[in-house]
Structure 1
């Protein structure tokens, strides 16, 4: 019979569990990653075309029009968008702030990934996956790192 080994918590694993819990609780308390995706797409569409439609959002996020309508209603209730069916979509001040913050996080992450040699398409895809989960302090440190690298003239580490 195998001897039962008593698990002992070590600091690294304990911190990891706390991080998972904190990330999970943060999602419960506020916006979801999905909501942020919608706000980001609306923001980008408005910047590119001057307006956003449910059809455009549906196309970019690869979701059904009824799903878009449902999320727009949630975002309207939470005060992030002004939405009236068949009338259009606009971001509120808080919706614009959230979307701009996500846009900026994406830019910093994509730039960091390009600096370390990741190609443009991959950098943007990876930044999209990471941007919702980045702690503000981490973002601040990445921005400092990018400024330092650029000031040293090391803006492309492609060892190719």
Structure 2
């Protein structure tokens, strides 16, 4: 019989530290992923991505967007062109596509569990950055099993 989660012993200090380190890294990369994903969406839907649009959609100040875009430029993910807005580099495009695929998988999984679309989308924003590749593969297997005809 499964032991209740509250009754399980603490993991080793090294394992515990590794878990927290992974979460801190996920926190650091979440912003970059959110920005490049939104830039890609704006370019696809509206033909342009401007700092003012990112600020409005993310609910942050333009100063925050400017600082973040500067970091994304230094990291080789985003390019700016005078009077033309924001563009993704090849690497930024790959990161945006991976972030979008992960987001969509998490949303599909949450919908399959019975959540409504609005809640699934909102919850996916946090889960997508912190879930492991192992869990994502399990989500995909779960969905494949459910979506396979005759099962």
Aligned counterpart in structure 2 of residue 145 of structure 1, from 142, 147, 151: 142
Unaligned runs of 5+ in 1: 1-9, 155-160
8 Å Cα contact 2:26-2:130 kept in structure 1:
no
Structure 1 residue 42 corresponds to structure 2 residue 52: no
- TM-score normalized by the length of structure 2: 0.84
How far residue 12 of structure 1 moved from its aligned partner, in angstroms, is 3.8
Q: Check the 8 A contact 1:73/1:83 in 2, yes or no.
A: no
**Alignment match, 1:59:** 56
Q: Structure 2: where are the runs of 5+ without partners?
A: 1-8
- The CA deviation string for residues 46-86 of structure 1, in whole angstroms up to 9 with x for no partner, is 11112101111010111111211111111111100111454
Q: Which has the larger radius of gyration?
A: 1
* Greater per-residue helix proportion: 2
Q: RMSD in angstroms over aligned alpha carbons? A: 2.3
Is 1:81 the counterpart of 2:78? The answer is: yes
Tell which has more relative contact order, 1 or 2 (C-alpha 8 A, sep 6+): 2
Deviation per CA, 1:94-140, whole angstroms, max 9, x where unpaired?
Answer: 10111111111111111111111100000000011111112122212
The answer (yes or no) to whether the contact 1:72–1:81 under 8 Å persists in 2 is yes
